[in-house]
Amino acid sequence: MESKRVAVVLLSGGMDSAVVLAIANSQGFACEAISFDYGQRHRFELESARRIAGMLGTVGHTVLPIDMRAIGGSALTDDIDVPKNRTGIGESIPVTYVPARNTLFLSYALALAEVKGAWDIFIGVNALDYSGYPDCRPEYIEAFGKMANLATKASIEQGIEFKVHSPLSEMRKADIVRKGVELGVNFALTHSCYDPDGEGRSCGRCDACLLRLKGFVDAGFVDPRAYMD
Amino acid sequence: MESKRVAVVLLSGGMDSAVVLAIANSQGFACEAISFDYGQRHRFELESARRIAGMLGTVGHTVLPIDMRAIGGSALTDDIDVPKNRTGIGESIPVTYVPARNTLFLSYALALAEVKGAWDIFIGVNALDYSGYPDCRPEYIEAFGKMANLATKASIEQGIEFKVHSPLSEMRKADIVRKGVELGVNFALTHSCYDPDGEGRSCGRCDACLLRLKGFVDAGFVDPRAYMD
């Protein structure tokens, strides 16, 4: 029996990365999930990541603490208000931007990939219905991949080519919802909100909630997530 | 009075990064040092980094804990013996290689640079008298820079060009020693050894010690560092 190829999948606890894990599984990869405890305002994301890993199935799930508060510069890690009911999402880069976040996440994923013998890394970035973060764009992902192939022992000694897959890159949020439904993702377990209440209910008004809700409406599904009144 | 440009300098506590900090200072940069507590076998490196920052002068020094033990795969973070008295240093990649280490270090430096308004990052990699790590080569550093200029809000919104400086890239270890002496680096404060004893004395036999000692001999100076008998 041929053993499955291993892939490292960045799993945030949000809906996009849940669909990416389902896609990687459906492509026959044995998935090593990796999540980060980076001083988010709340822990619901990480709890969601654990549940999603359990629901969809992984061969391992590494949760790494990373200290982004020590660096600062974001509404997601500092005491800056998360903007609500924004119009023009994606037209400029909002205060929820975290400096070099995906670069850090992908760097850890690369390290884990090399140790696990995985040459495929999956990330749920999206450059259509997104907040406008620069490190979600295809040209960024491509540049990271080029750098990765010069960075590691595996690439130099074994000629391994790391590939960073971003299967949602060119998908609209509604397509992501449809794909998730098709692959059996239980969206009730996914957490998107930047500013949930104490019970983990979503605010419905931050960028992440607005993009998510529009995606469900456009796809013709009801979001099973709990929202504040 | 024109204010100085800020640079982020990766400071390990070893001799190379100490010389790099001295070079960045001599070029007129106000330096923000960054060091990592990454589960090294010993803490002497970090103590050295603090002393070097104090000796040479910085505007700030961030020490970040990063959990590389959770990822594993190296003699520097796992319970694998550090090789001694190796011949052929630089011809193959040794077990002291840490997966994606410089990629992680540079990613954190990039995040800090963006927050501090620094567009210059200094790293003490060397591709001549080195252990053979892939992420020390000029082509790797160049690829990281390209990726960095697609990754950040500063690069997109303000057209900032991050530059990764590796002033030691093409220097022999002896030239690094001479440069440090010229710029007033007290090498007694720098720690290179992978496997020091309980009092911080260097082993004199690991790759790092062998390269360092040869550098001092070739430069015609005596290494002021304490070695085991």
What value does the mean pLDDT take over residues A25-54? 90
| Shortest distance, CA B210 to any CA of chain A (angstroms) | 22
The answer as to whether A56 is a domain residue is yes
| Shortest distance, CA A168 to any CA of chain B (angstroms) | 18
Q: Quick one: residue B107, left, alpha or beta (phi over 0 = left, psi -120 to 50 = alpha)? A: alpha
Of B73, B110, B114, the CB nearest to A114: B73
Judged against a pLDDT cut of 70, whether residue B97 lies above it is answered with: yes
The answer as to whether A73 is a domain residue is yes
A67 at interface of B, judged by CB pairs closer than 8 A: yes
Instruction: Find which of A91-95, B41-45, B107-111, B190-194 is predicted with most confidence, using mean pLDDT.
Output: B107-111
What ipTM goes with this model?
0.85
B219 at interface of A, judged by CB pairs closer than 8 A: no
Reading the block at residue B74, the tokens are 């190296």
Structural domains in chain B (count)? 1
The answer as to whether B228 is a domain residue is no
* Structural domain for A12, as ranges: 6-219
Report the mean per-residue pLDDT for chain A. Answer: 89
Cβ within 8 Å, pair B71-A146 = no
The answer as to whether B203 is a domain residue is yes
**What is d(CA B108, CA B103) in angstroms, rounded to the nearest whole number?**
9
pLDDT tens figures, B4-16: 899 999 999 999 9
Judged against a pLDDT cut of 60, whether residue A40 lies above it is answered with: yes
Burial of residue B93, with CB atoms counted within 10 A of its CB: 0-12 exposed, 13-18 middle, 19 or more buried = middle
Cβ within 8 Å, pair A111-B68 = yes
Burial of residue B220, with CB atoms counted within 10 A of its CB: 0-12 exposed, 13-18 middle, 19 or more buried = exposed
The answer as to whether B201 is a domain residue is yes
Chain A interface disruption, residue of B8, B95, B98, B107, most A CBs within 10 A: B107
Buried b (16+ CB within 10 A) or exposed e, A138-159: eebbebbbbbbbbbbbbbbeee
**What is d(CA A97, CA A77) in angstroms, rounded to the nearest whole number?**
10
B148 at interface of A, judged by CB pairs closer than 8 A: yes
pTM: 0.89
pLDDT tens figures, B76-89: 677 767 777 777 77
Cβ within 8 Å, pair A62-B68 = no
Of A71, A143, A153, the CB nearest to B147: A143
CATH classification of the domain holding B60: 3.40.50.620
Cβ within 8 Å, pair B151-A135 = yes
The answer as to whether A224 is a domain residue is no
Under 8 Å between Cβ of A58 and A31: yes
**What is d(CA A164, CA A141) in angstroms, rounded to the nearest whole number?**
7
B164 at interface of A, judged by CB pairs closer than 8 A: no
Contact residues on chain A for B104, CB-CB shorter than 8 A:
104, 107-108, 111
Q: Which residue has the tokens 């954190």?
A: B108
A61 at interface of B, judged by CB pairs closer than 8 A: no
More confident residue, B150 or B131: B150
Count of CB atoms within 10 A of residue B10's CB? 26
Residue B198's pLDDT band (boundaries 50, 70, 90)? confident
Chain A interface disruption, residue of B8, B101, B103, B156, most A CBs within 10 A: B103
What value does the mean pLDDT take over residues B171-181? 96
For the residues of A170-188, what is the DSSP string, one character each? Answer: T--HHHHHHHHHHTT--GG
Residue B222's pLDDT band (boundaries 50, 70, 90)? very high
pLDDT at B52: 97
Q: Which residue has the tokens 């509404």?
A: A75
**What is d(CA A191, CA A183) in angstroms, rounded to the nearest whole number?**
18
A68 at interface of B, judged by CB pairs closer than 8 A: yes
**What is d(CA A144, CA A156) in angstroms, rounded to the nearest whole number?**
16
Judged against a pLDDT cut of 60, whether residue B1 lies above it is answered with: no
Count of CB atoms within 10 A of residue A178's CB? 18
The answer as to whether B154 is a domain residue is yes
The answer as to whether B137 is a domain residue is yes
Of A67, A68, A107, the CB nearest to B104: A107
Burial of residue B2, with CB atoms counted within 10 A of its CB: 0-12 exposed, 13-18 middle, 19 or more buried = exposed
pLDDT tens figures, A156-183: 888 889 999 999 998 999 999 999 999 9
